[in-house]
Amino acid sequence: MEPESTPTQEATSGPAPAGLRYRVERDVYSEAQLDSEVLHRREHAPKSLCQRVNKHVRCSPERLKAAVQSLLPIVTWLPAYPVKDYLFGDLVSGLSTGVMQLPQGTFAVISLMIGGVAVREAPDSMFYVPGNGTNSTVLDVDARDARRVQLAVALTTLVGLIQLLLGVLRFGFVAIYLTEPLVRGFTTAAAVHVFISQLKYLLGIRTQRYSGPLSVLWSLGAVLQNITSTNLSTLLVGGVCMVFLYGVKEVNVRFKKKLPVPIPGEIIVVIMSTGISYGMSLFQNYQVAVVGKIPTGLLPPALPDHTLFSKVATDSVAIAIVSFSMGISLAKIFAMKHGYSVDGNQIAGLLSSLIVLLVVVAIGYVFEPLPQTVLAAIIMVNLQGMFKQLRDIPTLWRTSRIEFAIWIVAFVASVLLGLDYGLVVSISFAILTVIYRTQNPKSMILGQVPGSDLYYDVDKYEECAEISGIKIFHMNTSIYFANCELYVSALKQKTGVDPTVLLHVRKCREKKLRKTQETPPERKSIVVKLDVDKGVSHEIVCGAGVPLAVQANGQVSESYTDAVAEETDVLTAFLEREEAEQVYAIVLDFSPVNFIDSVGAKAIKSVVKEFAAVDVSVVIAGCSRTVLSQLRSLRFFGEVVTSDLVFPTIHDAVLHCRCRSLLLGQ
């Protein structure tokens, strides 16, 4: 029969989907019929191993161009760069970022991690030399700083090599495990690290540098412990800058449409505070800490000290991953905000790096009077966007408890353990939530929407009704070694049909019937007259296999009745319910199944055998072609299960089961 489809427009008002109907008349297909009658595979000549290898390793101009564009995305967008629209805004952003990077590094947290390694490997205690006095020692600052520079160079060299290697190996795929709740919790934790690290600069106090787990708590404790030594002049300068920056940001937001470009508040603050600091000699007169000497020019090129690589190798891996994660996390936040995608394998930060290079080579001395509290104020104000992500917590609590847990774990772990260990814990927890979801899927029995081929949860929608004698089982999971037993147990529980229990009860009933068909043993009774006046007599009844019982005036006592009835009630209750429901077919909805392994396939095949033993047929519906191919490769189909029992839709399976029931007279 040829399929016929006739779409018609029933109404012209209202949304279009509400007024559309379709009517299709076709045969009921099984997967075996589809393969033999409807679908025909395209013929592809088999490729040899050499051909397949050559496809991936051969070089052509097109592949070379694609590789270059992937590694250097600038060659893709630079020719089409809209100079008039973007150039000024990008210059302002690059200048602002570059100015902040002079004393802080690429990102404050990375600076803290690198500084922590340098302090650990070259502590002050290693550089005390004998002084002029008899027992006096003096800290050799130059030797200490030179050693720490060597350590930083070795560390950053390894970090760069690792990130370059990861880019070549296309390791950017790990970015898919950085889910939005994880990214937002992780970046909020990073903001906490940065904010606390800037408090001492804002207040003008000196504290010890801490790194590693719980470093945030130790740093905060040190600030609070020394808060009484706050430099009021430093706090005043930083506070004024913060108020000004907040005001500029508010103006930029409120008059966004009227301003041709945002007001560059950071650049204004840096220029004005540098001039005021130089003119008023804030460092000399008010002890306001400034950036200080910035070496001008570049040292002659030299290879890093390779003997230090072994000391910083572990730290370099952690910093490489954390810096990548920070960059990709921030990029994802802006990508989600502005609607574009991010390639985790590409490199960024060109303009701000050029600004740093320019300052180091030529104009570093200009920023030497810049107060450190001004930089702290700029950084703290710019963290407000990250702290606004705390608003995610109540929203996630209402919408998704699992994503709420991911956010909280990412935040707490990254704050307390540090961004390196916190990132590992966050990703591990996010992966565990995936496993948890597969171990706790939702299962349901589907019912038909009257007059349609739509099937939905009968417990959730009152319009959906179960089809008499057919149970349609749906479970939101794939079937593999970790959850196949869960799938089978949920199937038996939801359908109310357990072949093992059913077989046992039937055997017990058959055994009981055989016993009742045998001739009952002879019973003897003795009647004893106890109270003739009142007409009361007791009869003692006993016999082989029959418990001693007493009848009063011909009535069997309650204890005897209960003893006989108890044996039959338990054995027949299940059968009575099963016979009333008359389940003769079960449809397994495989539409949510993305994959199935050998253990899962064996479990399903075993289920088919079990239900067949109690005259309940099991069919599969909605199986994707990919899963169907997996089943074939796992040799799932054979004598027990054939492809004739697999159907493309639930409705095909239901019609098949009903037709088969009519033919068999069930």
Decide if pLDDT at 185 tops 70: yes
Is the separation of the CB atoms in 611 and 617 below 8 Å? yes
Mean per-residue pLDDT for 252-265? 82
Give the residue-averaged pLDDT of 215-240.
93
Alpha-carbon distance of 607 to 620, in angstroms, equals: 12
Does residue 172 carry a pLDDT above 90? Answer: no
In sequence order, which residues have a C-beta less than 8 Å from that of residue 518 and are 6 or more positions away? none
Residue 134's pLDDT band (cuts 50, 70, 90) = low
CA dist 411 and 434 (Å) reads 19
pLDDT band at 406 (very low <50, low <70, confident <90, very high): very high
Do the bridges between strand 585-589 and strand 470-475 make them parallel or antiparallel, or are there none, so unpaired?
parallel
Check pLDDT > 80 for residue 60.
no
> What is the distance between the alpha carbons of residues 133 and 74, in angstroms, rounded to a whole number?
61
Q: Which residue has the higher pLDDT, 203 or 363?
A: 203
Indicate the pLDDT class of residue 355, thresholds 50, 70 and 90: low
In the numeric block, the tokens 């990508």 are attached to: 335
| 207 and 109 Cβ atoms separated by less than 8 Å | no
Q: Alpha-carbon distance 163 to 666, whole Å?
A: 68
Tell me: the pLDDT tens digits for 526-549? 443 434 444 444 443 444 444 444
pLDDT at 445 over 90: yes
- Res 79: pLDDT: 80
Question: Which residues, 6+ apart, have CB-to-CB distance to 9 below 8 Å?
Answer: 19, 20
Alpha-carbon distance of 239 to 113, in angstroms, equals 27
SS3 label, residue 609: helix
Q: Which long-range contacts (CB under 8 A, 24 or more apart) does 419-424 make?
A: 419/109, 419/113, 419/186, 419/189, 419/190, 419/193, 419/322, 419/325, 419/326, 420/113, 420/318, 420/319, 420/321, 420/322, 421/213, 422/186, 422/189, 423/186, 423/321, 423/322, 423/325
pLDDT of residue 530: 39
Closest among 108, 107, 146, 124 to 208, alpha carbons compared: 124
pLDDT at 19 over 80: no
Give mean pLDDT, residues 659-665: 81
Average pLDDT rounded to a whole number, residues 214-239? 93
Q: Which pLDDT belongs to residue 542?
A: 41
Which structure tokens are listed for 217? 């708590």
Confidence of residue 138 (pLDDT cuts 50, 70, 90): confident
Question: pLDDT value at position 9?
Answer: 41
Predicted confidence at residue 350, as pLDDT, reads 60
Q: Tell me which of 107-116, 158-167, 603-612 is least confident.
A: 107-116
Lowest mean pLDDT among 176-180, 192-196, 266-270, 410-414: 176-180
What tokens does 169 get? Answer: 């190996």
d(CA 557, CA 33): 65
Residue 414, Cα to own-chain centre: how many angstroms?
17
